[in-house]
Amino acid sequence: MLRFLARRIGYLALMLGGLVLVTFVISNVTPADPAALAAGPDATPAMVATMRQEYGLDRPLPEQFARYVGDLLQGRLGRSIQTGNAVTEDLLRYVPASLQLVLLAMGFACAVGIPLGVLSAVRRHSLFDHAVRVLAVSGVALPAFWIALLLQLVLAVWAGWLPTGGQLSIAADPPPVLTGMVLLDSLLAGQWGTAGDAAAHAVLPAFVLSLPCLASVLRVNRAEMIEVLGSDHVTAARAHGVAPRRVVGLLALKNAMLPTLAIIGLRFGWMLGSTVLVETVFDWPGLGLYAVNAAIAADFKPVMGVTLTIGLLFMLANLLVDLAYGWLDPRTRGA
Amino acid sequence: MSDAALPALSRRARFRAEHAGTLRGARFFVWTFSRSPSALLGLALVLAFLLLAAIGPWIVPYPEDARGAVNLGRRLLPPSAAHWFGTDEMGNDILTRVVVGTRTSFWIGLTITGLAALVGVPLGVAAGYFGGRIRTAIMRVTDVFLAVPGLVLALAIVASLGPGILHGVLALTLVWWPGYVRLIEAKALTLRGESYVEAARTMGASHGWILARHILPNCVSPIVVKASMDMGMAILAAASLGFIGLGAKSPAPEWGAMISVGRGYMPDWWWYPAAPGLFIFLTVLGFNLFGDGLRDTLDPRSNRG
Amino acid sequence: MDRRSFLSGAVAAVAASSLDPAYGFEREGSRRILVFSGNQPVPILDPHQRYDWSTRMMQRCLYDALVRYEGTPARIIPWLAERWETSADGLRWTFHLTDKARFHDGTPLDAEAVRFSFERGLRLNKGISWMLSRHLKPENVEAMDARTVRFTLERAYPDFLAFLPLWFVVNPKQVLANQEGDDHGQKWLTNAEAGSGPFRIRRWDGQGVMALEAVPDYWKGWPMAEPDRPAGVIYRVVREAAPRKAALQRGEVDVAANLTPDDIEGLERMPAMEVANVPGAAPFAIMMNTQKGPTADLNLRKAIAHAFDYEALLTIHKGQARLMDGPFPVVTADRVALDMPRRNPDLAKAYMAKTAAPEGGFELEYLHVAGLEVQRQIGLVLLAALQPLGIRVNVVAQPWPTLVGRGASPETAAAMTAVYVTPVTTSPDTVASQYASSAAGQFWGIHHLRDAEIDRMVEEAAVELDAPKRAALYAAIQRRVVDLQPVIFCMTANQQWAMRNYVKGFAAQPLNLTGEVDLFPLYAARA
């Protein structure tokens, strides 16, 4: 098990290295002049030249790359022109907000997707089953930003049932910063009112984010259930008089866990990417909104910082899924 | 049986006889495909949008509205008989712009999918067929690109190059090609192990001949399935970039850009972003259903319910 | 876990979203806290490093200056300085300070603090420094005694007073105590304050929520009745217009800026809302590259100016704008009204015929600030207007720093760039200098006009002490600028804010930048 872990971590380090190279290449093909951007609009040509030297932009590329890697290893990701803060500082502030959304979305997708998928398989070919299948297909096809806008319009603006955006009402007392995730922090600090406020604000963005994952979880569980229900040992169990619910519960769910896990790992990355869209619509102060604002302002360091962070998070998630797989299914450990 | 005994057949009958196997396969394919209502729905949607893309600019009521006309006298009108989807902030008919935008979206989707396949398939075949160090190198590079969620990587590339449709297409192609590598690598690996391939090698066939004759033809169906589903997802990804504000420049009628501008007019003029979004949804839905149907027909063993 | 208060918190958030509160949200004790919302954050608060509308708005709450602008038309009133005199030759300005002013830490605000602040502003050479750096050296600001400051200018500059409201006074004690190395306290002042103004910082997040609390014993006193005085003021950044408008409608925000003309029109019809509509001072112009590219040809510039649909500008702003009737803004002293080009297709074609490509067939780039919807729409109007001439327009959106970067030299400047140039003072010299060669490299000089005659007249007028002679010189400059057509003179849009109807004390100030509001006199009327 340990060897498996060690191998996986080594692989992760290699991938991270590759990603660093890719982000370096990307930030160097830009037609804009990074020194001029960093110096700001009021800069004189002399100031721009100073900037260029300061950032080492006049050195040969391999040297710049070495410098870039060195900076990264020390946790220096540059400074954002827009916020004026160090990118690392901004990232630490925004990562928990995005994580909160993604975790809530994943939780919702599993809590709803697994039972619905199982039920749909049990009642195969019924109207319920068809409805669920339609949901499964739509969930992936729906443009996240479009459904976000529509839900915001109908539920928040017209009906007024939910807030239109942000993480907290301006009137709410912010909780002490423990994890950075506002909902969790206010629960841990016992600020129930704030927690309720935070929950109300998180409902719409988390729901929209969860849709494609929900769809995938639905399909996978339904497929697994169908296969399991048709298998030999289930038929045998039925023949022996074991109650159908026990059959479903014990055998099928256990089998469905592995593929569901794989789906979640895959969708985690997709969801992290979709924060770019959902956070924009709901003005949610997370990584996605940070990256979008920076991209539009041609502020590169934050965009690269977010790319690396999301890449790292995705790789870690995949690592966790791999480990879980290895633990649950020893056959995969040899791989 | 001597040659003289063969009856003189018409061209059509001879064609049928020579290609009997393929024709039977095609008929079976059509029959299987049409047994699935969702696949047929997908096909219908795809065909409808293809038609719109092809003849759209000629059937729209206000063609100059897609090219930057300014009619401030009729701006932000709600849906009516004259304007089925209402008008936008410059007074342009939204229906016209959405229909003309179909062509833009389709060539975006086609270009991304086509280029991604063009790059990814040869690499995948090389990796799967030749194995060894070539495979390791290719798969490692592929994995790096797959390490970041597509939209984020595309955002980074477009942020660097600058907004615009071409940059978006380039960025999304770079995001999409690894998928093809993975798919074809697995397939090529399996095929390489097949007995007829081994037999061909022992008989001295060159790699190129084996690739052309045995490997590539068998890769066609997974590529087609993936490509048809990718069309929808590529269009969605391009629209997402447009929504963020990194897509087409005004006044180009690109769906994502229209939603991005229309967003500023919510909630009072809510119909503005509703129409392009609906078109995106239906397009993606169509391609997804169609691709699903294709997969179920061409490769029923991958039972995904 | 107290399920009840969790639920009540959620319900409160939900209920609040549907309530239409008559009294608004925030309060402390019996006093209100007013919430203002705009789209622009405040990354650097330091008054000597940076200024833009959001930054200035906050700086005015936290700091004081020697004098202030008040009223419409804007006039200078004493503030930290009670009175002042100028020497006969216009070189020496002496200010006498009030003895009541105190910094937030209790230190009295004396002449040394004023001297320190001006020296800091000039030495840092950022932000507002350009306004005085040509005419004042840092060592020529002297504190004669505890309450007298003297400025000795390099040459006579009658407009000197017009710039002083923008130069804030910082507390030398705090700045020196918090500086790192020799950075003159720049890092610390980025998100802290060392001022004497009517507000103090309570909570500061320059990208999100900036909460200021009122200083009850502010040395100048408060303009409203004491029971009405707010407990504080909050500036909340909401980058998108739609959520900002929604927050205003639900009472989460009391005053909102940067709404589109369409939004304002909708809000005006609501009983709970009030719209402040103030004739703006910032002209919007489309600057054309006069040195390189097709627009270097005066005939083409004239053709474009006569093909443009000026009426569309008014429609886009829903009538809340004024077409420019002269190259100088309305607030500028010594401005004249002239015959400006208006839409005339025949005249446009005539000018076009004199250019190198009478049938058109080329493309011009129009650059505007990304995210500004009105500028984009104007670009589309331009595109439609130039189609009959056979000219294609490429509408490109870019972030402001990139746009300014491109405009810095004639080689890279676009054919047409959309720019608002706010006249921060009434000084005609500032505006006239925009058309002189010295303007190159700054965002107000993207047209890169090089005209020896204008340069000469600007130099002369700047130091001319005789009023009628000055007026004549500036009139001549304005006529020549219109003749040379370096820009398409568009309009001055009204500045508009929407606010809840219980907000009182709102005073229009024509020299405020874009969305800037003087938050000091605002208060909420009791229900």
Q: Which of residues 94-123 of B touch C (CB under 8 A)?
A: none
Please classify residue B199 by burial: count the beta carbons closer than 10 Å to its beta carbon, then call 0-12 exposed, 13-18 middle and 19+ buried. Answer: exposed
Q: What is the pLDDT of residues B22-55, one digit of tens each?
A: 788 788 888 877 777 888 888 999 999 999 999 9
CA of A225, closest CA in chain B: separation in Å?
A: 10
The answer to ipTM > 0.90 is: no
pLDDT above 50 (res B305):
no
Q: What helix, strand, coil percent values describe chain A, rounded to 5?
A: 75, 0, 20
Indicate the residue of C260, C312, C383 with minimum beta-carbon distance to B264: C260
Chain C residues near residue A293 by CB distance under 8 angstroms: 239
Q: Categorize the per-residue pLDDT at A335 as very low, low, confident or very high, splitting at 50, 70 and 90.
A: very low
Task: Check B277 against A274: CB less than 8 A apart.
Answer: no
Helices B255-263, A144-151: axis angle to 10 degrees equals: 30
Q: Which of A11-15, A50-54, C310-314 is predicted least confidently?
A: A50-54
Is the CB of A146 inside 8 Å of chain B's CB atoms? yes
C497, containing H or E segment: strand C495-500
Neighbours of C427 (CB within 10 A): 23
Chain C residues near residue A93 by CB distance under 8 angstroms: none
CA of C404, closest CA in chain A: separation in Å?
A: 6
Task: Check C394 against B261: CB less than 8 A apart.
Answer: no
Q: Which of A90-104, A251-265, B56-70, C284-298 is predicted least confidently?
A: A251-265
Which chains pack against A, by 3+ Cβ pairs within 8 A? Answer: B, C
pLDDT above 70 (res C454):
yes
pLDDT above 90 (res B276):
yes
State the DSSP string of chain B.
--GGGSPPPPHHHHHHHHTHHHHHHHHHHHHHHTT-HHHHHHHHHHHHHHHHHHHHHHH-S-GGGGTT---GGGTTPPS-SS-TT-B-TTS-BHHHHHHHHHHHHHHHHHHHHHHHHHHHHHHHHHHHHH-HHHHHHHHHHHHHHHTS-HHHHHHHHHHHH-SSHHHHHHHHHHHHHHHHHHHHHHHHHHHHTSHHHHHHHHTT--HHHHIIIIIHHHHHHHHHHHHHHHHHHHHHHHHHHHHHT-SPPTT---HHHHHHHHHTTTTTTTHHHHHHHHHHHHHHHHHHHHHHHHHHHH-TTS---
Task: Check C384 against B68: CB less than 8 A apart.
Answer: yes
Q: Which amino acid is at A159?
A: A
Chain A: residue whose CA lies nearest to C254: A170
| Rounded Cα gap, residues A135 and B8, in angstroms | 57
Chain A residues near residue C17 by CB distance under 8 angstroms: 156, 160-164
Instruction: Please state, rounded to an integer, the average pLDDT across all residues of chain B.
Output: 86
**Mean pLDDT computed over A57-82:** 82
C277, containing H or E segment: strand C273-278
| Rounded Cα gap, residues A209 and A176, in angstroms | 26
Output the six-digit token pair for B194: 């097949």
What is the CA angle C381-B89-C487, rounded to 5?
25
Q: Categorize the per-residue pLDDT at C19 as very low, low, confident or very high, splitting at 50, 70 and 90.
A: very low
pLDDT above 50 (res B203):
yes
Is the CB of A295 inside 8 Å of chain B's CB atoms? yes
pLDDT at residue B270, rounded to an integer:
87
Chain C residues near residue A42 by CB distance under 8 angstroms: 126-127
Q: What is the pLDDT of residues A22-32, one digit of tens each?
A: 888 888 877 76
Chain A residues near residue B259 by CB distance under 8 angstroms: 145-146, 149
Chain B: residue whose CA lies nearest to A315: B147
Q: Categorize the per-residue pLDDT at C52 as very low, low, confident or very high, splitting at 50, 70 and 90.
A: confident
Q: Which amino acid is at C189?
A: L
Q: Which residues, at least 6 apart from B197, have a Cβ–Cβ distance to it below 8 Å?
A: B191, B210, B214, B215
| Rounded Cα gap, residues B248 and C510, in angstroms | 37
Helices A87-122, A287-296: axis angle to 10 degrees equals: 120
State the DSSP string of B63-113.
GGGGTT---GGGTTPPS-SS-TT-B-TTS-BHHHHHHHHHHHHHHHHHHHH
Closest CA to A268 of A216, A219, A233, A224: A216
Share of chain C above pLDDT 90, in %: 54
Identify the top-confidence range among A71-85, B19-33, C132-146: C132-146
pLDDT at residue C58, rounded to an integer:
95
**Mean pLDDT computed over B253-272:** 88
Neighbours of C191 (CB within 10 A): 18
**Mean pLDDT computed over B200-226:** 82
Identify the top-confidence range among A194-198, B185-189, C487-491: C487-491
Which chains pack against B, by 3+ Cβ pairs within 8 A? Answer: A, C
| Rounded Cα gap, residues B191 and B200, in angstroms | 12
CA of B256, closest CA in chain A: separation in Å?
A: 10
Chain B: residue whose CA lies nearest to C377: B90
CA of B144, closest CA in chain A: separation in Å?
A: 5
Chain C residues near residue B260 by CB distance under 8 angstroms: none
| Rounded Cα gap, residues C5 and C137, in angstroms | 62
Task: Check A18 against B147: CB less than 8 A apart.
Answer: yes
Q: What are phi and psi of C141, to 5 degrees?
A: -105, 120
**Mean pLDDT computed over B261-269:** 83
Output the six-digit token pair for C495: 């500045």
Q: Which residues, at least 6 apart from B251, have a Cβ–Cβ distance to it below 8 Å?
A: B66, B67, B68, B90, B92, C380, C383, C395
Is the CB of A327 inside 8 Å of chain C's CB atoms? no
Chain C residues near residue B72 by CB distance under 8 angstroms: 312, 315-316
Indicate the residue of C9, C252, C405 with minimum beta-carbon distance to A197: C9
Q: What is the pLDDT of residues B143-168, one digit of tens each?
A: 899 888 889 999 999 988 888 889 99
Which residue, chain included where needed, has tokens 């030299």?
C409
Chain B: residue whose CA lies nearest to C262: B265
pLDDT above 90 (res C513):
no
Q: What is the pLDDT of residues A106-115, one digit of tens each?
A: 999 988 888 8
Q: What is the pLDDT of residues C299-350, one digit of tens each?
A: 999 999 999 999 999 999 988 899 999 999 988 888 999 999 999 999 999 9
Helices C298-307, C345-353: axis angle to 10 degrees equals: 160
Which stretches does DSSP call E strand in A68-132? none
Indicate the residue of A219, A223, A306 with minimum beta-carbon distance to B152: A306
Output the six-digit token pair for B228: 């048809």
| Rounded Cα gap, residues A287 and A94, in angstroms | 5
Is the CB of B37 inside 8 Å of chain A's CB atoms? no
CA of B281, closest CA in chain A: separation in Å?
A: 5
Q: Which residues, at least 6 apart from C321, have a Cβ–Cβ distance to it below 8 Å?
A: C280, C313, C314, C491, C492, C493, C494
Chain C: residue whose CA lies nearest to A292: C239
| Rounded Cα gap, residues C353 and C360, in angstroms | 9
CA of B92, closest CA in chain C: separation in Å?
A: 12
| Rounded Cα gap, residues B174 and B170, in angstroms | 6
pLDDT at residue C16, rounded to an integer:
46
pLDDT at residue A155, rounded to an integer:
87
CA of A190, closest CA in chain B: separation in Å?
A: 36
Task: Check C384 against B266: CB less than 8 A apart.
Answer: no
Chain A residues near residue C44 by CB distance under 8 angstroms: 84
Indicate the residue of B38, B144, B270 with minimum beta-carbon distance to A19: B144
Q: Categorize the per-residue pLDDT at B294 as very low, low, confident or very high, splitting at 50, 70 and 90.
A: confident
pLDDT at residue C10, rounded to an integer:
60
Closest CA to C493 of C400, C398, C422: C422
pLDDT at residue B269, rounded to an integer:
85
Q: What are phi and psi of C419, to 5 degrees?
A: -140, 135
Chain C: residue whose CA lies nearest to A188: C1
pLDDT at residue A66, rounded to an integer:
86
Backbone conformation region of residue B68, classed left if phi is above 0, alpha if psi is from -120 to 50, else beta? left
Q: Categorize the per-residue pLDDT at C18 as very low, low, confident or very high, splitting at 50, 70 and 90.
A: very low
**Mean pLDDT computed over B243-254:** 87
Three-state DSSP class for residue C470 = helix
Q: Categorize the per-residue pLDDT at C21 as very low, low, confident or very high, splitting at 50, 70 and 90.
A: very low
| Rounded Cα gap, residues C451 and C480, in angstroms | 10
Top pLDDT among B176 and A333 is at: B176
Task: Check B155 against A137: CB less than 8 A apart.
Answer: no
